[in-house]
Amino acid sequence: VLAVARSDLQPPRGTRDFYPEDLRFRTWLFDVFREVSRRFGFEEVDAPVLEHAELYRRKAGEEIVEQLYHFELHGRHLALRPELTPSLARMVMARQGALRWPLRWFAIPQCWRYERMTRGRRREHYQWNMDVWGEPSVTAEAELLAAVFAATDALGLGPADVRVRLNHRALLEETLRADVLADRPEAFAPLCVIVDKLDKIGAEAVVEQLADPAGPVALDAGAAKELVARLGIRDLEEAARQAPADSPAVAELRRLFELLDAYGVADRVVFDASVVRGLAYYTGVVFEAYDAAGSLRAVCGGGRYDRLLESLGGRPVPAVGFGFGDAVIQELLADRGLVPDLPRGLDAVVYPLGEEERSAAIRLARRWRAEGLAVEIVLGQGLRMRRVLADADKAGARRVALIGPEERARGVARVRDLASGEEREEALE
Ligand code: HAM
């Protein structure tokens, strides 16, 4: 006998089984994502969950690259996608000459990351993505942020529940390039990856890593401290005073806030100089949605990545998008008592009392199914009527049709409405 260890019968740590009730929740959530995407005029795409590991080879020290699930098979190095964005870049590149810009694409991929587990953080998650390719102006950012709020609204969360923090990477880059990074622009991406850890490891550790002479950034200690101090700015006007005169990043942020005002969501978005995000490819506006009570990790994160396609060898195409996970939002909805009670959606149960009645029962079920009803036929024999009624009720069915010898002889089914308890007869032909 092959004995399987009990632990091998669990789903691998950090992954989930979806029982029917779990899948009902997932479908409900995805329906909201799809409906919002549709209302914004986005088209759905997908890509394989398996990619060439090479697609994720980036050297900025990002967590996402270190957490890759990868393996070699027949001489190929493959990886489970930790995110969708590089796959999208690949897809865009393959048809670059034939696409009509801007593209508005959305997807709901399952993504895999070997994470340290915390609340809302898992080793697989589904991530709703919306991306705009081919539009350089912040009109795209504004649409995307409006879509994020349209989704949280549709999920029942109020304006006070979910907020967005937003920044512009170029704000930091403009200053650093004119100064400490003048000769080493390539240090900017690893710098952002380190700064992104501020909440997690604290200011002192960030300064230490930025100033580590053996590290990828190697600022002098004074410059590192100054940089970290600037991350405390929470006011765009203050940031503007510290930025170079006529900074394009400041102008874009001002324009973005005007647009957000027209969408009616400007009061849910705050400027926050500490938001840089942990992915190397972002170049412009970066943002994060979070729960205002502040107990969970980011609900959603995104930004502009105008140079990703070039870095993969394509012609440059400006792009911006976000990823919105299923796990954090589920925790948040549960905290707020907003997880809906989702019925199975069964309409009717057809119950042949004996095998003699089965053909008649099948014909009735066929008719109702053809009308679009969800119909269960009792498959076994000898079930008691009470049990059938109780099961049907629990499944949320509205009616049960009973066909016994007497009903069969008269060519009818006895149909009971479970809510009212009333019975009527329905002709079988
Ligand atoms: P990200 O910030 O790594 O960005 O992930 C986006 C969102 O996915 C997070 O805010 C969170 O809701 C969810 N998420 C990420 N990792 C996990 C995890 N281990 N468990 C549960 N949820 C998770 C990206 O992935 C970018 N590719 C997003 C993007 C699209 N940027 C532009 N377009």
Q: What is the pLDDT of residues 75-125, one digit of tens each?
A: 999 999 999 999 999 999 999 999 999 999 999 999 999 999 888 899 999
In contact, 106 and 44? CB cutoff 8 Å: yes
Beta-carbon neighbour count of residue 90 at 10 Å? 16
Instruction: Report which of 187, 192, 155, 92 is spatially closest to residue 300, judged by C-alpha positions.
Output: 155
Instruction: Report which of 137, 136, 47 is spatially closest to residue 93, judged by C-alpha positions.
Output: 47
Cβ burial 312-333 (10 Å sphere, 16+ → b, else e): eeeeebbbbbbbbbbbbbbbbb
Separation in Å, CA 333 to CA 35, 230, 315, 363:
19, 34, 42, 43
| CA pair distance 422, 86, nearest whole angstrom | 59
In contact, 165 and 272? CB cutoff 8 Å: yes
Is the pLDDT reported for residue 4 higher than 90?
Answer: no
Q: Could you identify the atom of ligand 1 that is nearest to the CA of residue 127?
A: 8
Ligand 1 and 162: CB distance under 6 A: no
Q: What is the dihedral of CA 280, 282, 284, 288, to 10 degrees?
A: -110
Is the pLDDT reported for residue 409 higher than 70?
Answer: yes
Instruction: Report which of 402, 397, 412 is spatially closest to residue 354, judged by C-alpha positions.
Output: 402
| CA pair distance 421, 411, nearest whole angstrom | 22
At 330, the pLDDT band (50, 70, 90 cuts) reads very high
Stretch 169-180: mean pLDDT, rounded?
90
Ligand 1 and 81: CB distance under 6 A: no
Stretch 403-412: mean pLDDT, rounded?
96
Q: Could you identify the atom of ligand 1 that is nearest to the CA of residue 122?
A: 20
Is the pLDDT reported for residue 1 higher than 90?
Answer: no
Ligand 1 and 331: CB distance under 6 A: no
Ligand 1 and 301: CB distance under 6 A: yes
Query: φ and ψ at 378, to 5 degrees?
Result: -65, 125
Say which DSSP state 56 is in: G
Distance 298 CA to ligand 1 centre (A): 8
Distance 83 CA to ligand 1 centre (A): 7
Distance 82 CA to ligand 1 centre (A): 9
In contact, 168 and 285? CB cutoff 8 Å: yes
| CA pair distance 53, 339, nearest whole angstrom | 37
Is the pLDDT reported for residue 2 higher than 80?
Answer: no
Q: What is the dihedral of CA 117, 121, 125, 131, to 10 degrees?
A: -140
Stretch 258-263: mean pLDDT, rounded?
98
Burial class (CB within 10 angstroms; exposed 0-12, middle 13-18, buried 19+) of 198: middle
Q: Give the pLDDT of residue 306.
A: 98
**Higher-confidence position of 392 and 383:** 392
Stretch 296-310: mean pLDDT, rounded?
96
| CA pair distance 207, 224, nearest whole angstrom | 5
Ligand 1 and 325: CB distance under 6 A: yes
Ligand 1 and 302: CB distance under 6 A: yes
| CA pair distance 107, 33, nearest whole angstrom | 9
Nearest-10 crossing angle of helices 203-211, 188-195: 160
Instruction: Report which of 3, 321, 19, 288 is spatially closest to residue 140, judged by C-alpha positions.
Output: 321
Q: Residue holding tokens 């088209």?
A: 43
User: Cis before residue 102, ω within 30 degrees of 0?
Assistant: yes
Ligand 1 and 138: CB distance under 6 A: no
pLDDT digits 0-9 by tens, 119-173: 889 999 999 999 999 999 999 999 999 999 999 999 999 999 999 999 999 999 9
In contact, 42 and 108? CB cutoff 8 Å: no
Helix (H, G, I), strand (E, B) or coil at 188: helix
Stretch 21-33: mean pLDDT, rounded?
98
Q: Give the pLDDT of residue 193.
A: 96
In contact, 124 and 112? CB cutoff 8 Å: yes
Ligand 1 and 122: CB distance under 6 A: yes
Q: Give the pLDDT of residue 294.
A: 79
Q: Give the pLDDT of residue 429.
A: 82
